[in-house]
Amino acid sequence: MTFPTTVPTDLEIARNAALKPLDEIAERMGLGRHLIEGYGEHVAKIKLSAIDELSDRPKAKYVVVSAVTPTPLGEGKTTTTVGLGQALNQIGKRATIALRQPSMGPTFGIKGGAAGGGYSQVVPMDVLNLHLTGDFHAVTAAHNMLAAVLDNHLYQGNASGLDLHSITWRRVLDVNDRALRNIVIGLGSRTDGVPRQSGFDITAASEVMAIFALSRSLQEMRERFGRIVVGYTRSGDPVTAEQIGGAGAMAAIMRDALKPNLLQTLENTPVLVHAGPFGNIAHGNSSVVADLIGIRGGDFLVTEAGFGADMGAERFFNIKCRASGLVPDAAVVVTTVRALKAMSGRHTIVPGAPLPPALLEENPDEVHEGGANLRKQIDNIRLHGVPLVVAINAFPGDHPSEHAAIAEIAASEGARSAVCTHFADGGKGARELAEAVVEAADEPAEFRFLYPDEASLREKIEAVATKVYGAEGVDYDPAAARQLDTYERNGFGTLPVCIAKTHLSLSSDPALKGAPTGWRLPVREVRASVGAGFIYPICGDMRTMPGLSADPAAHHIDIDADGNVLNLS
């Protein structure tokens, strides 16, 4: 394997890309020009009529890309998804990629954008990482429209009898702004609203985002908006967006956002970028609509699920596939040497700081130690009956013995694996992975949900906690237990669960590495996204509005004289 350390920056590579007209990219998916609406020069939206129009085409193999428990730096899951898509095309399969849209908050914070990297990128990366076609802005606007309607409802007399202390609907902005986490609104004079405590979350955390990601049609999205619970009356009855007259306006605002966005990779593989729900308090997967179109677009649809297999993939299987009706044919578990070494518990990785030197030393034993995490994440995919491949995402500084260690772990689990160099080499670097994925997808899959709809909320939580996370059981704070009882009474008991916990451990404690055992999942609170259609128990502190660091990307991003965006990564 060659791994040049002289790969140019993502922005340099992206700027030198040879982009093809989007009509041509759409054509690769069998989408006629009449189904495409250009948005600027290198992005298009796909009309929703494509779903019906393509419905008699054969279904592509549906591949979900997941990962081991990542470090705070991420393990190149998006890059691998892009590399795999490009590689499938290189070996003669027509492949489409589906990704979430990056959030502008982290782009201007510390994380940077999320367009993949190196020679496995989605382009144009500046458009992708900034507004794209404005879908996130539409989510922000629709969410805050409902908030304005809600506060106006209070101001105009509160006909529904909402209890001011039981209002769950906050506001959102797509920016890292800690000062907005906890605020008091409605101050001033009598005509300036009703004073109460509230706050802002980042737009990715909006239930509107989750709803739009899970809806199969405009009508379904409209109905889901109506079911949003904005708060409760003093007697504990839920009050919905429909009741206070906000759902129709939200649908008008979100109408065009429901059309998936079409972009391309550096190798001109079609990419659907659509929606970006949070990966902890929401399900962390790209849109159902994009997948309903992509599944008719060729031989393979490669879609990414957020964080490790315990998080994004579990929700992919039990929330997204439940909503879409689509059935996965194979999964990829992205693994890095550094992630497994970190899972040994011997290193501390801090975003923005250099990696600890000890982590960079050749140490296949440490990889084996951390391998318990990979074994459990493989198991988490198999729990759902889906064949899988372990993708070993190579980094400069990896040692062949360490890659071999990962391959051994995979083999001992009976799983395929492949070393990938798509960051440095583009699709060529992921051909072996692509071949393995084709084989896996040809195996008979026996996809199954982890729990049936009719299980109780507690049974669902316990199924995820014990079977996927490896907990011994679940402990509920009294408030959480009461909340679960209320939700069952309210008729929300048939919904799936989306457990909000750290993504940095299989457990709810980010300090526990590997595949922790002998622990119990503490549920301190339970909330409901009734419109999106899931209940989310909260285990640990979930931050729904990030902050900026002392020297955030926002201080450095700028434009040059030609209007090129600088220092966007």
- Which residues participate in the annotated binding site for ATP? 71-78
Q: Does residue number 183 form part of the binding site for a copy of itself (CB under 8 A)?
A: yes
Neighbours of 296 (CB within 10 A): 22
- Gap between the Cα atoms of 27 and 116, Å rounded: 23
Query: For strand 61-67 and strand 270-273, is the pairing parallel, antiparallel, or unpaired?
Result: unpaired
Q: Does residue number 175 form part of the binding site for a copy of itself (CB under 8 A)?
A: yes
CB of 32 to a copy of itself, least distance (A): 15
Among 9, 16, 182, 456, binds a copy of itself (CB under 8 A): 182
The contacts found for 426-429 with CB under 8 angstroms, 24 or more apart, are: 426/83, 426/86, 426/118, 426/119, 426/120, 426/266, 426/267, 427/83, 427/85, 427/86, 427/87, 427/88, 427/89, 427/90, 427/120, 427/267, 427/269, 428/87, 428/90, 429/83, 429/87, 429/119, 429/120, 429/394
Q: Does residue number 558 form part of the binding site for a copy of itself (CB under 8 A)?
A: yes
Q: Which span (71-79, 214-222, 283-291, 521-529) binds a copy of itself, by CB under 8 A?
A: 214-222
Among 3, 53, 90, 134, binds a copy of itself (CB under 8 A): 134
How many chain residues interact with a copy of itself (CB under 8 A)? 78
Query: Which tokens is 300 given?
Result: 């393979």
- Gap between the Cα atoms of 337 and 80, Å rounded: 15
Question: Which residues share a beta bridge with 117?
Answer: 120
Among 20, 21, 57, 179, binds a copy of itself (CB under 8 A): 179
CB of 452 to a copy of itself, least distance (A): 32
Q: Does residue number 110 form part of the binding site for a copy of itself (CB under 8 A)?
A: no
Residue of 285, 255, 283 lying closest to 273 (CA atoms): 285
**Rounded (10°) CA dihedral 270, 273, 274, 279:** 130
Q: Does residue number 18 form part of the binding site for a copy of itself (CB under 8 A)?
A: no
Strands (E), 256-320: 261-265, 270-273, 300-304
**Is 7 or 148 the residue whose CB approaches a copy of itself more closely?**
148
Q: Which span (284-292, 490-498, 517-525, 546-554) binds a copy of itself, by CB under 8 A?
A: 546-554
* Stretch 441-470 residues interacting with a copy of itself (CB under 8 A): none
CB of 475 to a copy of itself, least distance (A): 25
Q: Does residue number 557 form part of the binding site for a copy of itself (CB under 8 A)?
A: yes
**Is 327 or 565 the residue whose CB approaches a copy of itself more closely?**
565
Yes or no: say if 214 and 276 are a contact pair by the CB < 8 Å rule: no
Query: For strand 183-185 and strand 261-265, is the pairing parallel, antiparallel, or unpaired?
Result: unpaired
Q: Does residue number 37 form part of the binding site for a copy of itself (CB under 8 A)?
A: yes
Q: Does residue number 555 form part of the binding site for a copy of itself (CB under 8 A)?
A: yes
Binding mask 220-259 for a copy of itself (x = CB under 8 A): --x----------------------xxxxx-xxx-xx---
Among 91, 194, 327, 355, binds a copy of itself (CB under 8 A): 194
Sequence letter at residue 191:
T
Q: Does residue number 9 form part of the binding site for a copy of itself (CB under 8 A)?
A: no
**Is 39 or 307 the residue whose CB approaches a copy of itself more closely?**
39
* Total residue length of the chain: 569
Query: Which tokens is 500 given?
Result: 């909000």
Q: Does residue number 45 form part of the binding site for a copy of itself (CB under 8 A)?
A: yes
